[in-house]
Structure 1
Amino acid sequence: MSANLYALGAIALWASLASLGVSLTHVPPFLLTGIALIIGSVPAWPFVLRDPSQWRIPLRTLALGVYGLFAYHFLLFIALRHAPPVEANLVNYLWPLFIVVLSPVVLPGVALRLPHVLAALLGFAGAAIAIAGGRELSGTLAWGYVPALAAAFIWATYSLMTKRVAAFPTTAIGLFGLVSGVLSLLCHAALEPSVALQPRDWALLAVLGLGPLGASFFLWDKALKLGDARHIGILSYITPLASTALLIVVSGRPFSASIALATVMIISAAVMGMRAR
């Protein structure tokens, strides 16, 4: 149960990502990501100052962390620039499905049963309805869908592979974020124009860094360490639903029938997956 609570905490924080991002659309994406990830690493600093050994992890483990945090966001932002955002985001939300179906491939001793598969597919269908708002996908063949699919694969495999490397303290997530943030800033310097940030921008970046691009990663790591990756993957389908619902509240749009249907489908998928033994 504690693993599910940690996962729900991460999901709640990720749900605010889109709403916060709307207020920072004028900030280049790599600059936004770099600053937010570095700020997100700050909560780990006091623990590391008391015990520096918590960041003395194998290079392989650090490479996995950078693979997850930096490569995922790099590919996601590329996708959002070169494909319709709604459809690209939908492709990105294949990662919960990947977590469920790749669990028996990546993790030894984990079996995938039919209820897990059905729950994953039902959850993805609900996520699709939540994100697309009941509209048909454009069907446009944009190459940006390729990095979106790659981003989904990276986050799923990163999440699963954290159970395959040598055990590391959750505070090491701060090192992942710090290194990934620096790499993002290097990408900004090389690829994006410089901008002047206002005090309000810094305040929003602090909230973004301490929440969706900070604390969420620590909570997610604890959830994966304590729980069943298949169940957590299915539970993750709440993320696009919660994100869409929050955007509706912020924008003042009415709660549509498609969102109501998505709610039923996602909750049903989560219950089905949790009850599978």
Structure 2
Amino acid sequence: MQANLYALGAIALWASLAALGVSLTHVPPFLLTGIALIIGSIPAWPFVLRAPTQWRVPLRTLALGVYGLFAYHFLLFIALRHAPAVEANLVNYLWPLFIVVLSPWVLPGVRLRLPHLLAALLGFGGAAIAIVGGHELSGTLAWGYLPALAAAFIWATYSLLTKRVPAFPTTAIGLFGLVSGVLSLLCHALLEPAVTLQARDWLLLAVLGLGPLGGAFFLWDKALKLGDPRQIGILSYITPLASTALLMAVSGRSFSASIVLATVMIIGAAVMGMRAR
């Protein structure tokens, strides 16, 4: 139960990502991610100053952290630039399904039972309805779907592999974010035009960094350390639903029947996943 609460905390923070992103669309994505990830690492700094050994992790553990935080966002931004946004986001949200399906392959002693698989598929169906909503999907094939699929695979495997590397303190997530943020800023310098940020931009970036691109990663790590990745993966389908609902509330749009249907499907999937043993 405690693990699920940590997961729900991460999901609640990730739900604000779209709403914050709408207010920061003028900021180049790698600059946005780099600044936010560095800010997101700040909560770990006081712990590291008191006990520097908390950031002394094996090189392969650091590589896994950068693989998860930097490579995921790098590929997702490439996907959003070269494929329709709604469809790319839908492909990206295969990651909870990947967590459920890949658990037996990555984690010893974990079995995939039929209720887990059915719940994951039901959750993905609900997520698809929440993401697509009233949009008409483009029938065009875009190579940007490949990096979106790779991003989903990376986040799922990162989440599972954190249970396979030597145990590390959750404060090490701050190191992963700091290194990934610096790499993102290098990508900005190489690939994006320079921009001048206003005071409001810095305030929103601070909220973004301390929330969905910072605090959420710490909560996610605690959830994975304590819980069943199959159940956590199914719960993760709440993320696109909550994100869409919050975006609609902020923009003043009324809730549609598709959101109600998606809610029923995702809650049903979560209940099914919780009952599965």
- Is TM more than 0.5 here? yes
Partner residue in 2 for 1:8: 8
Counterpart of 2:179, as a letter, is V
Question: Does residue 23 of structure 1 match 2:23?
Answer: yes
Q: Deviations over 1:180-238 (max 9, x none)?
A: 00000000000100000000000000000000000000000000000000000000000
Counterpart of 1:206, as a letter, is A
Q: Which runs of 4+ in 1 moved over 6 A?
A: none
Partner residue in 2 for 1:191: 191
Q: Distance in 2 between matches of 1:153 and 1:139?
A: 23
Q: Distance in 1 between matches of 2:187 and 2:213?
A: 18
Partner residue in 2 for 1:258: 258
Deviation at residue 255 of structure 1 after TM alignment: 0.5
The 5-angstrom pairing of residues 113-192 of structure 1 reads 113-192=113-192
Counterpart of 1:39, as a letter, is I
Q: Distance in 1 between matches of 2:56 and 2:140?
A: 46
Partner residue in 1 for 2:71: 71
Deviation at residue 140 of structure 1 after TM alignment: 1.4
Q: Distance in 2 between matches of 1:234 and 1:140?
A: 29
Partner residue in 1 for 2:40: 40
Counterpart of 2:54, as a letter, is Q
Deviation at residue 82 of structure 1 after TM alignment: 0.7
Q: Deviations over 1:25-47 (max 9, x none)?
A: 00000000000000000000000
Q: Percent identity?
A: 89
Counterpart of 1:259, as a letter, is I
**3-state SS of 1:210 partner:** helix
Q: Distance in 1 between matches of 2:44 and 2:248?
A: 33
Q: Deviations over 1:94-144 (max 9, x none)?
A: 000000000000000000000000000000000000000044421210111
Aligned length: 277
Structure 1 length-normalised TM: 0.99
Counterpart of 2:107, as a letter, is L
The 5-angstrom pairing of residues 105-120 of structure 1 reads 105-120=105-120
Q: Distance in 1 between matches of 2:172 and 2:220?
A: 13
Q: Distance in 1 between matches of 2:17 and 2:136?
A: 24
Counterpart of 2:262, as a letter, is A
Partner residue in 2 for 1:204: 204
Q: Distance in 2 between matches of 1:141 and 1:70?
A: 26
Q: Distance in 2 between matches of 1:4 and 1:120?
A: 16
Q: Distance in 1 between matches of 2:265 and 2:87?
A: 20
Structure 2 length-normalised TM: 0.99
Q: Distance in 1 between matches of 2:250 and 2:135?
A: 21
The 5-angstrom pairing of residues 207-226 of structure 1 reads 207-226=207-226
Counterpart of 1:261, as a letter, is L
Q: Distance in 2 between matches of 1:161 and 1:72?
A: 14
Partner residue in 2 for 1:241: 241
Partner residue in 1 for 2:53: 53
Q: Distance in 1 between matches of 2:54 and 2:132?
A: 42
Deviation at residue 174 of structure 1 after TM alignment: 0.1
Counterpart of 2:198, as a letter, is Q
Q: Distance in 1 between matches of 2:29 and 2:155?
A: 18
Deviation at residue 175 of structure 1 after TM alignment: 0.1
Structure 1 vs Structure 2 CA RMSD: 0.6
Question: Does residue 275 of structure 1 match 2:275?
Answer: yes
Unaligned runs of 5+ residues in structure 1 are: none
